[in-house]
Structure 1
Amino acid sequence: MTVKAEQEFYLDPSIRDWVLIPITLIMLLVGVLRHYVTQLLNSAPKKQPAAAVREQRAIGRANLLRASAPLSPLPPSQYKSFSASLARGLASGEYLKPAAASEGEDAGPANPFESGQMEGAMDGMKKQAVMMVPNMVIMQYINVFFSGFILMRLPFPLTAGFKSLLSRDIAMPDLDVRWVSALSWYFLNLFGLNGVFKLILGQDNAAVETRDQSALSALSGAGGPAMAGPGAPDMSKLFKSEVENLALAEGLYKWVGDGIEDRVLKSWGKAV
């Protein structure tokens, strides 16, 4: 059995000072810059009509009421009153916004080139460009000037499966897997700095990825933009299903104050 000799290379300290550390700092600064550029590119939210906001809030209130049913802070009389009033309004269509087209008039197919949809598509393209262009420029820069550079050696052993990840631009089959090349260090920083960005910029940062607002946020009462166009849900059907869900939630209702006196006495060791 032959034991493979441990590979030893002398790495010039200039590689650490002029390649390893600058790549890390550039990736960090580009991520912070991407976050603030994305914030500047975000379009201001459009003001929604009062009828559309009322429609969204109705679904949001129903969701909150159902979610709190298993351990509700509302007394039984108030919960039943709120549930019955909300179910009655949803069933009658009181909260529905008026239709855009009058009765008897054919509205025709939705136009995919409407200004609202085009603005949403342009916002998405601009955010994708902010993500892709800096990464392509940095990767090409590293590939041209530092191709084949060995930057560092990891202090812990790894299996051979990591070789394609850590030494992807070095054509040396016998190279130890622990040696890290310049291009591999770029990719490690690209995916490994997410925790640093969350620590610096917070959880909702645009340095990691563009976060488009979910379409379902409008239905959760979060105040997001109303869905429109051919992919928009039928709110009348949603209201009818929500009425049934409220009826089912009443069977799961439990007041958080039930037996509170006995629980307090038991916690103080005074239960009879």
Structure 2
Amino acid sequence: MEILLDSSIRNWVLIPIFIVVFLAGMLRIVVSQLMDSKEEQEKNDLCVQETVLRVQRLKKGCKILSDISYRNKRAYFCKATVGVLHKEFDSNAMPFFMDPTSQLGMIKKNAAYGISTMLLLTWVSSFCSGCILARIPFPLTQKFRSMLQRGVELSALDVTYVSSSSLYFLMMFGMNGILGLAMGDLMKEKIRDMALPMMQGPAKDLGKIFKAERENLELVSHKFRLNGIEDYYLKN
């Protein structure tokens, strides 16, 4: 038995569900960014990374610096007590998964996500239930009926047809690609933040990192490659 999608159902059920789910996904991403409380930690991490990169660039390119310029730059990083690489860090800093502040932020985000999902599901169940909106283009077994035909109790109906309530869930979990095109960097940050707790390992000892970079910089043998270059070109 073939079922055709009525134009009224398409205009007043299918399209509104798609628009609402899409806008809700965008709103979730924006709210997630507004509730993010890791700005200060990101700033500190960025400062450390930039400092290490500057030291590494100085070690690689020191040969094109004059003796005075190189000594000044090395003193900026390595001078006792006041050098940038002598900065002290809190050795008791907790990793992400043990930080109460980070955990509170995750709880807030999960609560906001759960509440919005419940409200949308209530709206779909109240105003859009009982409609068949889509069809899966390949055969399925009867085990998929309860997942694809929520709110529609018709045993004679082909399993491949999808009800409005089930289509809402499929849209909600399959909207990331479209949201990525619409939101760009914000969507990338959301995906990165979701993966961050799993990727985080033990807290790094930033003091040891700075100490190692300082010792390596102090061991660099400097010789100005352009010393006497003016006389060389004047003679030739």
Q: Which band: TM-score by shorter chain?
A: 0.5 to 0.7
- Deviation, 1:143, is 3.5
Preserved contact between residue 131 and residue 209 of structure 1 (Cα < 8 Å): no
Query: How large is the RMSD of aligned CA atoms in angstroms?
Result: 5.1
Structure 2 vs 1, CA of residues 126 and 239 (structure 1 numbering), >3 Å: closer, same or farther? same
Aligned length: 202
Q: How many angstroms apart in 2 are the aligned matches of 1:61 and 1:8?
A: 66
Q: How many angstroms apart in 2 are the aligned matches of 1:56 and 1:8?
A: 59
Q: Counterpart in 2 of 1:234?
A: 205
Deviations 1:7-26 (A, max 9, x none): 21254433222211111111
- Deviation, 1:186, is 0.7
Provide the identity percentage.
29
- Deviation, 1:187, is 1.6
Pairing 1:177-192 to 2, within 5 Å after superposition: 177-192=159-174
Preserved contact between residue 194 and residue 208 of structure 1 (Cα < 8 Å): no
Q: How many angstroms apart in 2 are the aligned matches of 1:207 and 1:13?
A: 38
SS in structure 2 opposite 1:180?
strand
Q: How many angstroms apart in 1 are the aligned matches of 2:216 and 2:159?
A: 57
Preserved contact between residue 151 and residue 182 of structure 1 (Cα < 8 Å): yes
SS in structure 1 opposite 2:193?
coil
Pairing 1:116-265 to 2, within 5 Å after superposition: 118-154=100-136, 157-160=137-140, 164=144, 167-169=148-150, 170-172=152-154, 175-205=157-187, 211=193, 232-239=203-210
| Match status 1:35 vs 2:29 | yes
Q: Counterpart in 1 of 2:3?
A: 9
SS in structure 1 opposite 2:185?
coil
Amino acid aligned to 1:77: K
* Unmatched runs of 5 consecutive residues or more in structure 2: 221-236
Preserved contact between residue 42 and residue 123 of structure 1 (Cα < 8 Å): yes
| Match status 1:22 vs 2:16 | yes
Q: How many angstroms apart in 2 are the aligned matches of 1:40 and 1:56?
A: 20
Q: How many angstroms apart in 2 are the aligned matches of 1:210 and 1:134?
A: 22
Amino acid aligned to 1:22: P
Which of these residues, 63, 67, 88, is aligned with residue 98 of structure 1? 88
Normalised by the length of structure 1, the TM-score is 0.52
Pairing 1:67-78 to 2, within 5 Å after superposition: 77-78=63-64
Q: How many angstroms apart in 2 are the aligned matches of 1:207 and 1:143?
A: 32
Normalised by the length of structure 2, the TM-score is 0.58
Q: How many angstroms apart in 2 are the aligned matches of 1:131 and 1:206?
A: 18
Q: How many angstroms apart in 1 are the aligned matches of 2:49 and 2:188?
A: 29
Preserved contact between residue 87 and residue 207 of structure 2 (Cα < 8 Å): no
* Unmatched runs of 5 consecutive residues or more in structure 1: 1-6, 69-73, 102-108, 112-116, 216-230, 251-272
Amino acid aligned to 1:167: L
- Deviation, 1:60, is 3.9
Q: How many angstroms apart in 2 are the aligned matches of 1:198 and 1:205?
A: 5
Q: Which one has the bigger helix percentage?
A: 2
Deviations 1:84-138 (A, max 9, x none): x59x949x9952433669xxxxxxx889xxxxx5544433322222222111221
Q: How many angstroms apart in 1 are the aligned matches of 2:191 and 2:213?
A: 34
